[in-house]
Amino acid sequence: MNTGIVYASLAYLSWGLFPLYFRQVAAVPALEVVLHRTLWSLVFVLALLAVRRQWAWMREVLRQPRVLGAFALSALLLAANWLTYVWAVNNGHVVDASLGYFILPLVNVALGFVFLHERPRQGQWLAVAVAATGVVWLAVQAGRLPWIALVLASTFGFYGLLRKVAVLGALEGLTLETILLAPLTVLVLGGWAWQGQGALVQGDGATVGWLMLAGPVTAIPLLLFAAGARRIPLATMGILQYISPSIQLMLGVWWFHEVFEPARLVGFVLIWAALLVYSLEGWQARQQAGRP
């Protein structure tokens, strides 16, 4: 449990700082950035597998169509989440993206309840209710359907569910996902390069370098997330997830100077209050169980 919390916390801290990275490649279209994330993530994880000589699992997976199908679905969910997030950051919607990841814990609790038969305690339900109130308040204040937030929350919520019940470990699972996305990635990037388009041909050395860095920048948090998701309940993952959007919110307001109306602060205060309630309830439960 404690190891899973450390893994998940580090993943969410990394994701919270992602806007700083993606602004370095803001001149590159979001779809192209996602394709590079896929390509260089695959290179990175294959290098890790080569160092660890960890190839035997591939033969087993190729004999299991259901496993391949499940990972094909998780790969599509991951790609959709990446595309939406990169577009949002590079088009001045960091605060809206943070809202999506504030909604995500509610999605995680719901998915854990419906699909994994996890049963949150009364204090945990209270925290979820307070957080839900904050999310509704934020949506009402926006005056429109928060589509960016909803897409980000739903795609990554179901991705987390699939990875929690996956038969492969963190490294193997991410490798399989990027392998499944690789043919389309190579085809599109290769076609653009053949036509003299794209950052690989038209970009300067710094831009290409930042895009190549997308491999470890993308893979390491995902590996940490997958490792954490297999060790702790989805409800706990949901609460730890507040680390990421809180950092994104602060970056959006104070670093990128996005508009943040005072009325929206009420919603975020409610969400942070829910985190406090959940944390105190969890601490009390551990004390009653005689655990540190």
What would the DSSP string read from start to end of 66-132?
HHHHHHHHHHHHHHHHHHHHHHHHHTT-HHHHHHHHHHHHHHHHHHHHHHS-----HHHHHHHHHHH
**Domain that includes residue 177, residue range:** 2-288
Q: Digits of tens for pLDDT over the chain (292 positions)? A: 578 889 989 999 998 999 999 989 988 999 999 999 999 999 999 999 999 888 888 888 878 888 899 999 999 999 999 999 999 999 999 988 988 888 787 788 788 888 888 887 788 788 888 888 887 887 787 777 788 988 999 998 999 888 888 788 778 888 999 999 999 999 999 999 999 998 988 888 899 999 999 999 988 998 888 788 778 876 677 678 788 888 998 899 889 888 877 888 888 888 888 878 877 877 777 677 665 5
Rounded Cα distance between 89 and 67, Å, is 33
* pTM of the model as a whole: 0.84
Report the domain count for the chain. 1
Give residue 168's region: left, alpha or beta (phi > 0; psi -120 to 50): beta
Rounded Cα distance between 169 and 159, Å, is 14
